[in-house]
Structure formats: C-alpha cells, structure tokens
Amino acid sequence: MSLDSHALHHGRQVHQRPLTVILRALARTVFLLLMGRVRFPRSEIGRVLTMDDGAQFVVFRHVRVRGRGDPAAQFIVRFTPAHMSVRQNIRFSLLPMLALLGMHGFREKFWCVNEETGMCQGIYAWQTPADAAAYAESIALRFMTRRSVEGSVWCQITDRGITPPGVGTER
C-alpha cells in the first residue's frame, strides 16, 4: 500500500486513485495561485549549493507556497534524466510542478542541476515528515524514477526544514 493512493480520513485510511490525487493537487494549485500564496523568488537563482557530500549544484528555479508555521521536514532527491539533456529536463520540469504545488504539505522547492555530470537535484520543504514520506512514495517520484538512468535516483528525508544542506553559498 503506497502513501500516495491512501489518505487519512478521521483516523482511517481511505483509498484514492493516483489520478484523483493529481487532479486534487492541480485544483489546489489553481486555488493557491489565485489566492496569491505562490511565489517564485529569483534571489536564489544561480546560487551554488555545496552539499554535505561535496557535490555541487546550481539552483535554476525556486518556488515557495505560503503556509502556517515553519516546514518541519526536508526531502532531497537526486537523479540523472535518461534520454533527455539537462536543458530539456529543465524545461520538462515545469510540467509536474503544477501538481506539486498543490500537494498536501508542500511548502518550498529548489530545482538544482550539476551541468558537468548531468545530475539533477530537488530540495523540498514539507509541512511534516509524514508529508515528505508521502511524496517519497508518490506517483510523482515513481514517474521521476522511470524517466531516470537506472540506479541514479537517491533520496533522503531530514528534519532540517528548508535550509539547504552544506556550507557553500557561492554565487
């Protein structure tokens, strides 16, 4: 049983089809956009992040959804896209973003790339660790895995909130 296809309703799990989950997320995205709760800060674009393992990535997109309280979980994923250049993947990544914005508990994401290796990285902030875990089991991550070089997908959930890991903040 995957977390994306089940929701808690009054303490019990209720089955939801992946298409239903996506359509609800898209509807919520429209609501958030109309209410002015979605921001695309440009201040981080071009920032070089040096991760805890020394890998470096450049931020190419950043989105933030205003919500109540501070996010309590961070989800990091790395992958190498298959059958697509880095530039093609950057353009393609706009498509799933529409559903991502409306997913339960989503608060923020940094889209990053290492142009030399072709590796992509997403750093997400989620309202709760359970929200991050649900995304890790979601149709979105399965789709990402299917369109990636086999064995290249790596992900991690931490309780850091959105503070990007690592000490490097070069521009």
The answer to whether residue 171 is domain-embedded is: no
- In this structure, of 56-65, 70-79, 97-106, the range with the lowest mean pLDDT score is 97-106
Q: Do residues 155 and 78 make contact, with C-beta atoms less than 8 angstroms apart?
A: yes
Q: Do residues 93 and 111 make contact, with C-beta atoms less than 8 angstroms apart?
A: yes
Q: What is the DSSP letter of 24?
A: H
Q: What is the pLDDT of residue 42?
A: 92
The answer to whether residue 167 is domain-embedded is: no
Q: What is the pLDDT of residue 139?
A: 82
Judge whether residue 15 has pLDDT over 80.
Answer: no
Give the bridge partners for 121, in sequence order. Answer: 78, 112
Judge whether residue 138 has pLDDT over 50.
Answer: yes
Please give the residue range of the domain that contains residue 122. 3-158
Q: What is the pLDDT of residue 149?
A: 95
Q: What is the CATH number of the domain that holds 119?
A: 3.30.70.100
Q: Do residues 119 and 79 make contact, with C-beta atoms less than 8 angstroms apart?
A: yes
Nearest to 132 by CA among 104, 151, 112: 104
Q: What is the pLDDT of residue 161?
A: 60
The answer to whether residue 163 is domain-embedded is: no
In the three-class reduction of DSSP (H, G, I as helix; E, B as strand; rest coil), residue 76 is classed as strand
Judge whether residue 11 has pLDDT over 70.
Answer: no
Nearest to 73 by CA among 166, 21, 136: 136
The answer to whether residue 145 is domain-embedded is: yes
Report the Cα–Cα distance between both ends of the chain, in Å, rounded. Answer: 43
Q: What is the pLDDT of residue 164?
A: 56
More reliable by pLDDT, 23 or 125: 125
What's the total number of domains in the chain?
Answer: 1
In the three-class reduction of DSSP (H, G, I as helix; E, B as strand; rest coil), residue 156 is classed as strand
Nearest to 84 by CA among 118, 40, 60, 126: 118
Q: What is the pTM of this model?
A: 0.79
The answer to whether residue 164 is domain-embedded is: no
Judge whether residue 35 has pLDDT over 90.
Answer: no
Query: Which pLDDT tens digit goes with each residue over 97-137?
Result: 787 788 889 999 999 999 999 999 999 999 999 999 999 98
